[in-house]
C-alpha cells in the first residue's frame, strides 16, 4: 500500500495487511494508536520505561497474532487499550505486597479528598466523555476510576470505599452501561 | 461456568472489562463468553467505554517503534519460496546463520490472517476426494479411478503447471501436483506415510503471503483433486487433527512453488 492508501485504510484493513506481514501496516497502526496505549500504560504504572515496554509488547503481539483482533467485537483501539490495560494491571499486581499496602494506605489517606475531577481532567478526554463520566452517580464514577486507573479489583475497590463487593461490581457495570448510552446518544462509540 | 450462574457472570462483566476481577472469576467468564453472544457483546461495549476513558491525544513514544521494527519476523511464505525456486541467499556470517536457522524453524508454520479463513470458502470450490476413502466395488472406487486418470492426463499435459512438493527439512517424502490454467488441480504420487486415523494431511495454497486451505487430504492420500485461485504462488501440506483446521499453526512438511 502507498502512504496515502495506508493513511486512508480502516483499522480492520490494516490488521489484515499485518496478517500478510506488511510492516508498513503495523507502522500505521502504531502511528494511530501508540500514543493512547503509551499514555494509559504510563498512567497505570507511573513509569516511562515500563510503559514503553508495554507499548512494545502490545504491538508485537498484534504483529505475531493479528487473528486475536476480531473487528466484529469492537474497535482496534479498544482492543489495543484492553491488551495494554491487562498487561499493565498484571505488572501492578505482581509487585510486592509492600507496595500494595502502601498504595492502599495512600489511597485511604486521600479518600476524603480523592481528586476524581483531576483524574478525569488529566486524561485529556473529549468534553463529551468527561460530561458522561461527570453525570454518573458518585459511587459509580469512583468505582470505575479506581478499578480502571487504579488497577484495583472490584473487591479491593469495595474495601477502599467501604462498600459491599456486590454493590461495587453492580456500580461498575451500571456506570459503564450509562456511559455507553450517553456517548452513543451523542454519536460517540 | 465453574460454579457461576449466568446472572452472576453478567454481574461481573463490567468489572471483567476493566480487568478488575479475580483470576477464578476471569477464568469462568472467559469460559462462558465464547458460547454467549449477549455477554460477549456487553464486554465489547464496556471495553469501548474504557477505551474512551483512556483517550489521549498524546504522541507515540519516541524510539519505541524502531525497537519494534528491529524485532519483526520476516514473512514466512516468501522465504520458503526463495529456497524452492533455486534462488539462494548470499553467504552470511555464522551468527546471522544461526539467527536465520532459528527463524527457519518457525518459518513454515502456516499462519494466516483472519481473512484467510474467509477466503477458504471462495477458493475451495472443487471436489476434494481422497482415494483412501473409496472402498472396493462402490461408486467411490470408480470416482477414484476416474480422478487418477484425470490426474495422469494433467501430469502429461505440457500446458498444466507442474508442482513438486518437497520437505523443507530434507525428509525423504515428496508429492507432485499438476494444475490446469482454470485452477483445477490434482495431487498425486505422494510418498506420504499413512497417518494415525485421528490425523489428516491438509493442503494449503499461498497467495500474496496469505495461506488458504485447499482441502483435507485424509490420513493416507493417494490421488486428490482440488481447485485453486490461478494466482496461487505455492502449495504446502501440513499434518492436522482429523477433519482439518481453518488456520494451521503447524509446520509445513511439504512445500512447492506453482511454476
Residue B145: what pLDDT?
57
Architecture of domain A96-189: Orthogonal Bundle (1.10)
Give the CA angle between residues A172, A175, A179 to the nearest 5°.
140
Chain A residues closer than 8 Å to B22 by CB:
153, 155
Residue A100: what pLDDT?
53
**Does residue B98 or residue A112 have the better pLDDT?**
B98
Residue A15: what pLDDT?
93
Contact B187, B177 (CB under 8 A): yes
Q: Is it the case that residue A88 has pLDDT exceeding 60?
A: yes
User: What distance in Å separates the CA atoms of residue A24 and residue A39, rounded to the nearest whole number?
Assistant: 23
**Does residue B25 or residue A21 have the better pLDDT?**
B25
Q: Cβ of A125 under 8 Å from any chain B Cβ?
A: yes
Residue A116: what pLDDT?
46
Contact B45, A28 (CB under 8 A): no
Cell of residue A161, nine digits: 470505599
Q: Is it the case that residue A138 has pLDDT exceeding 90?
A: yes
Contact A44, A151 (CB under 8 A): yes
pLDDT per residue, tens digit, chain B (259 aa), is 458 999 999 999 999 999 999 999 999 999 999 999 999 999 999 999 998 888 666 677 878 998 898 888 655 444 343 333 333 333 333 343 344 334 333 333 444 433 333 333 333 333 333 333 333 344 455 455 567 777 878 888 888 888 888 888 778 888 888 888 888 888 876 678 888 878 888 888 887 767 778 887 888 887 888 888 877 888 888 888 877 777 777 788 888 888 7
Give percent of chain B with pLDDT exceeding 90. 18
Please report, for chain B, the start and end positions of each structural domain, with discontinuous segments joined by +. Answer: 6-53, 114-257
Q: CB–CB of B14 and A176 under 8 A?
A: yes
Q: Using H for helix, E for strand and C for coil, what is the string for A107-163?
A: HHHCCCCCCHHHHHHCCCCCHHHHHHHHCCCHHHHHHHHHHHCCCCCHHHHHHHHCC
Residue A140: what pLDDT?
96
Residue B70: what pLDDT?
85
Least confident of A7-16, A125-134, B32-41, B97-106: B97-106
Domain topology for A1-94: Rna Polymerase Sigma Factor; Chain: A (1.10.1740)
Could you report the per-residue pLDDT of A140-183, keeping only the tens digit for each? 999 999 999 989 999 999 999 999 999 999 999 999 999 999 88
Residue A131: what pLDDT?
84
Among the partner residues B20, B55, B73, nearest to A147 by beta-carbon distance = B20
Among the partner residues A166, A173, A188, nearest to B14 by beta-carbon distance = A173
In sequence order, the 6+-apart residues with CB closer than 8 A to the CB of A139 are A161, A163, A167, A171
Q: Which residues are bridge partners to B219 per DSSP?
A: none
Q: Cβ of B114 under 8 Å from any chain A Cβ?
A: yes
Q: CB–CB of A27 and B69 under 8 A?
A: yes
Instruction: Indicate where chain A has its CATH 1.10.1740.10 domain(s).
Output: 1-94
Residue B87: what pLDDT?
34
Chain B residues closer than 8 Å to A148 by CB:
18, 20, 50, 53-54
Residue A109: what pLDDT?
40
Q: Cβ of B15 under 8 Å from any chain A Cβ?
A: yes
Q: Distance from A129 to chain B by nearest Cα, in Å?
A: 7
In sequence order, the 6+-apart residues with CB closer than 8 A to the CB of A173 are B11, B13, B14, B15, B46
Chain A residues closer than 8 Å to B38 by CB:
none
Q: Is it the case that residue A4 has pLDDT exceeding 80?
A: no
Mean residue pLDDT across chain B: 72
Could you report the per-residue pLDDT of A33-80, keeping only the tens digit for each? 898 899 899 888 888 899 999 999 999 999 999 999 988 888 999 999
Residue to substitute from A86, A120, A173, interface B, most B β-carbons within 10 A: A173
Give the CA angle between residues B122, B125, B129 to the nearest 5°.
140
Q: Cβ of A157 under 8 Å from any chain B Cβ?
A: yes
Amino acid at each position: 500500500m502507498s502512504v496515502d492508501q495506508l493513511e486512508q485504510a480502516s483499522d480492520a484493513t490494516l490488521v489484515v495487511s499485518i496478517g500478510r506481514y506488511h510492516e508498513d501496516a503495523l507502522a500505521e497502526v502504531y502511528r494511530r494508536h501508540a500514543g493512547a496505549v503509551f499514555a494509559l500504560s504510563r498512567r497505570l504504572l507511573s513509569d516511562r520505561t515500563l510503559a514503553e515496554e508495554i507499548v512494545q509488547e502490545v504491538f508485537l503481539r498484534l504483529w505475531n497474532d493479528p487473528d486475536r483482533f476480531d473487528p466484529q467485537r469492537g474497535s482496534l483501539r479498544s482492543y489495543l487499550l484492553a491488551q495494554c490495560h491487562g498487561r499493565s494491571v498484571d505488572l501492578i499486581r505482581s509487585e510486592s505486597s509492600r507496595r500494595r499496602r502502601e498504595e492502599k494506605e495512600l489511597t485511604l489517606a486521600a479518600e476524603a479528598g480523592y481528586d476524581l475531577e483531576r483524574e478525569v481532567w488529566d486524561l485529556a478526554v473529549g468534553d463529551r466523555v468527561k460530561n458522561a463520566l461527570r453525570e454518573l452517580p458518585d459511587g459509580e464514577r469512583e468505582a470505575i476510576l479506581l478499578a480502571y486507573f487504579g488497577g484495583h479489583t472490584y473487591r479491593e475497590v469495595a474495601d477502599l470505599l467501604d462498600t459491599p463487593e456486590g454493590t461495587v461490581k453492580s456500580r461498575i457495570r451500571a456506570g459503564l452501561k450509562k456511559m455507553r448510552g450517553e456517548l452513543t446518544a451523542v454519536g460517540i462509540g | 461456568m465453574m460454579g457461576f450462574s449466568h446472572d452472576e457472570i453478567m454481574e461481573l462483566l463490567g468489572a471483567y472489562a476493566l480487568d478488575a476481577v479475580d483470576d477464578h472469576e476471569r477464568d469462568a467468564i472467559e469460559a462462558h463468553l465464547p458460547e454467549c453472544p449477549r455477554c460477549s457483546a456487553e464486554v465489547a461495549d464496556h471495553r469501548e467505554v474504557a477505551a474512551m476513558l483512556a483517550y489521549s491525544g498524546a504522541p507515540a513514544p519516541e524510539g519505541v517503534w524502531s525497537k519494534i521494527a528491529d524485532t519483526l519476523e520476516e514473512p514466512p511464505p516468501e522465504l520458503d519460496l526463495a529456497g524452492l525456486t533455486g534462488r539462494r541467499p548470499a553467504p552470511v556470517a555464522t551468527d546471522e546463520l544461526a539467527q536465520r536457522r532459528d527463524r527457519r524453524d518457525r518459518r513454515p508454520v502456516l499462519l494466516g490472517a483472519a481473512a484467510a479463513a474467509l477466503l477458504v470458502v471462495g477458493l475451495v470450490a472443487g471436489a476434494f476426494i481422497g482415494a483412501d476413502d473409496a472402498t472396493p466395488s462402490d461408486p467411490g472406487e470408480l470416482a477414484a479411478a476416474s480422478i487418477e486418470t484425470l490426474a495422469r492426463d494433467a501430469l502429461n499435459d505440457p500446458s498444466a503447471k507442474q508442482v513438486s512438493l518437497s520437505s523443507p527439512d530434507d525428509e525423504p517424502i515428496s508429492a507432485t501436483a499438476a494444475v490446469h490454467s482454470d485452477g483445477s488441480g490434482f495431487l498425486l504420487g505422494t510418498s506420504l506415510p499413512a497417518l494415525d486415523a485421528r490425523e489428516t494431511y491438509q493442503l494449503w495454497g499461498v497467495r500474496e503471503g496469505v495461506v488458504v486451505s485447499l482441502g483435507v487430504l485424509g490420513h493416507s492420500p493417494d490421488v486428490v483433486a482440488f481447485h485453486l485461485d490461478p494466482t496461487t504462488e505455492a502449495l504446502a501440506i501440513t499434518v492436522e487433527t482429523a477433519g482439518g483446521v481453518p488456520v494451521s499453526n503447524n509446520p509445513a512438511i511439504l512445500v512447492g512453488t506453482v511454476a
